[in-house]
Amino acid sequence: MSSLKLSSLRPYVAGLLLCALCCAGLSPLSAQAQDGLLVGRGKFGQARGKVLPPPTPQPGPVVQPGGVSLLKDGRQTVLRPDKISPDLYALMSGRTPSRTAFRVVCQFNKPPGAAVNAIYQRPNVSVNYSLQNLNYAVATMPASVIGELAALKEVSFISPDREVRTLGHVSATTGADLVRNQAVAGLDGTGVGIAVLDSGIKHSHKSFRDGRTLRSDVRIVAQQDFANYSGSSDESTGDAYGHGTHVASLAAGNGRIADAAYIGIAPNADIVNLRVLDEHGVGTVSNLLNALDWILGPADPSQPVSATNPTNRARYNIRVVNMSLGMPAVDSYRNDPVCRAVRRLVDAGIVVVAAAGNNGKDAQGQKVYGMIHSPGIEPSALTVGAVNTYGSNARSDDGVATYSSRGPTRSSWLDARGVRHYDNLIKPDLVAPGNRLIGAYADGNFLDANYHLRSFVSSDDSREMMTMSGTSMAAPVVAGAAALLFQANPNLTPNMVKAILTYTAQPLAGFNLFEQGAGELNVEGAVRLAKLVRTDLTNSTPTGTPMLTGPAPDPHTTIAGQTFPWAQGLILNYGFATGQNLITQYQRIYGTGVLIADGVLIADGVLIADGVYISDGVLIADGIYISDGLPLGHGATFTTSRELIRWRELEQPVAGSGVLIADGVLIADGVLIADGVLIADAIVRARATEANGEQTASMPVVTDNGADHVGY
């Protein structure tokens, strides 16, 4: 059965107002369900659609404390906390009636067997659909059945079908203009596919026409609607919400409007429009999983993959996926279904760019840590924070935006005894411009109607622009840069792309690794290095093999008259690596099927290279530093790697600055606070971020004269 045969499904509407990534509570479906499907909520929790009254309580079994589920016939099933999401397990191990139904994502380590199929056939279980390319299923079932299912060997993990939300001069300050002005012409993303998973894209906007000529060809080469589970490709893939159009133009908008004042990073890349959020800014994990499954699936889902029926990834040469959205980081990346799907894409040769989130400060405006959201917590993802450029092309005044979410990751997992352990990884990987950026406007969109975001560049809606802020805007800037690297050297792996982007990034003085990762995106340096990487490197290439076709490049870049050093290092899970051998010698961690941090061992809290995946001459550094603007390893110590590793077992660790690391806790009324902030407060602050950003000098508005500009 194809994973795309969704005709039997009804539209699944979760009504979260999409603004920035912020936390979401887990609610049982019993009081908000119609035929097993959750009825969502609209603006600030107001109900949208029909909400059924709570059902009359029925006598029946309950899930008892202590991890034992009492079934109707008196049998007992011991709950497996290591195979159930912590928030779901907390509800199941409390006094939740076992008849309460939950919509969940089930992950399998092999094809489901007879026991699973028998559960599927029960009248109180509804299988919404299966995602065959990911080996997942989305189903609605009572709490007691979840415990039974988790006990089966072929089930690896069960988690809720959570809600997903969005997280807003660019070519000059990133160095992309320098790339296009070099002697090698045409480095503009041509032939590289960028999949944008968002609220849709306005097909008729001039930003998405051919980027090199005046031809009317639209570069949106494929589009699918997963917000309504229809998989259709009609006008429903447009953008009534307004977020996806803006995001896509930052990655791949052409320079036709206002003499290229708003040109994207890869202005001639192909765009794949995968709509996972509806016209009210609503999305779910299952929407996202459907889209990721489609990328890996065959072009004709009724036929197996073959030379004449390639995967959609191959058909559209999708090398980059942008996700300017996310969900609370409850589950460890080891179990989170979206993170595991992201890993599948990365292993298939796709760079997945994820926004870090916009929860970098609390309601009092104070800096907080530990707020990275999923899927940005996934080690293989390229997680991006936001920079405020203050509207200048020079980078001497750039700084990490106060709202940009900081690491470490505080997603967690429960062992078989129910003891919680935290991932606690360094994120983001790097930062990019994201404050008050001007991008394409989808006419009549929800965001502008409510927050007045139009830039008034043109009276022609197909040429109009709007202003937004956030890590949602920073992510597509990096996605566009990744497309340029693939155009410059198609044989790069996703790990190579991550390594090149972090090695060439600019460390920003006054900010630590939890805030900026390796530093600010440097497209010029990254492309210069990518062009030197040999094209015959494979997974079987021995560690230490010469990696470049010539001498190592000068590790400095000049943008707008300012010369700065590169980071010259890579971010690892709990520290970083430095040394020129990272680029002059091939490292096994650059292959597919591995993580960059796989070459590092932890011995008594100390990080050491294993000598297999990382060659000699690479320094594994111990510590989290506040940068002084020089390469990684310079500056004042913020905390040590030993402390960071120790925090994995602590619920409330304190950073070196005395700032409490955020954590997921249950408050008295049982509402899950996945990132340490109240839901209503987070929504208000996240909305303010996208609509207003930091009220500082910003990207100037250049009026459009109505004539198409061609060239870069």
Structure tokens given for 610: 């294993």
Q: What is the DSSP string of 67-121?
A: TEEEPTTS-EEE--GGGB-HHHHHHHTTT-BTT-EEEEEEEESS---HHHHHHHT
Structure tokens given for 387: 């920079």
Q: Are 12 and 80 in contact (CB under 8 A)?
A: no
Low-confidence residues of the chain, pLDDT below 50? Answer: 1-74, 168, 183-184, 229-234, 657-658, 660, 663-685
Sign of CA dihedral 244, 250, 255, 261: positive
Q: What's the CATH superfamily of 33-52+62-160?
A: Peptidase S8 propeptide/proteinase inhibitor I9 (3.30.70.80)
How many angstroms separate the CA atoms of 319 and 676, rounded? 35
Q: What is the CATH number of domain 188-649?
A: 3.40.50.200
Parallel, antiparallel or unpaired: strands 636-639 and 430-433: unpaired
591: helix, coil or strand?
Answer: coil
Q: Cβ of 503: how many Cβ atoms within 10 Å?
A: 26
How many angstroms separate the CA atoms of 6 and 680, rounded? 34
What residues does each domain of the chain span? 33-52+62-160, 188-649
User: Taking the model in full, what pTM does it have?
Assistant: 0.84
> Considering only CA atoms, which of 338, 347, 329, 354 is closest in space to residue 429?
354
For the stretch 510-547, pLDDT in tens is 999 999 999 999 999 999 999 999 999 999 999 999 99
220: helix, coil or strand?
Answer: strand
- Is residue 536 packed enough to be buried (19+ CB in 10 Å), middle (13-18) or exposed (0-12)? exposed
Q: What is the DSSP string of 121-158?
A: TSTT-EEEEEETTTTEEEEEEEHHHHHHHHTSTTEEEE
Each residue of 57-75: b (16+ CB within 10 Å) or e?
eeeebbbbeebebbeeeee
Q: Are 656 and 644 in contact (CB under 8 A)?
A: no
Q: Are 309 and 297 in contact (CB under 8 A)?
A: no
The per-residue pLDDT for 97 is 65
Structure tokens given for 596: 């960059």
Parallel, antiparallel or unpaired: strands 562-565 and 556-559: antiparallel
Beta-ladder partners of 107: 136, 157
Q: Are 116 and 145 in contact (CB under 8 A)?
A: no
How many angstroms separate the CA atoms of 594 and 571, rounded? 15
Cis (ω within 30 of 0) for the bond into 428?
Answer: yes
What are the Cα distances from residue 347, in Å, to 292, 341, 386, 494, 688?
13, 10, 26, 8, 37
The per-residue pLDDT for 19 is 36
Name the residue type at position 161.
D
Question: Max alpha carbon distance in the chain (Å)?
Answer: 77
Q: Cβ of 50: how many Cβ atoms within 10 Å?
A: 8
Parallel, antiparallel or unpaired: strands 351-355 and 318-323: parallel
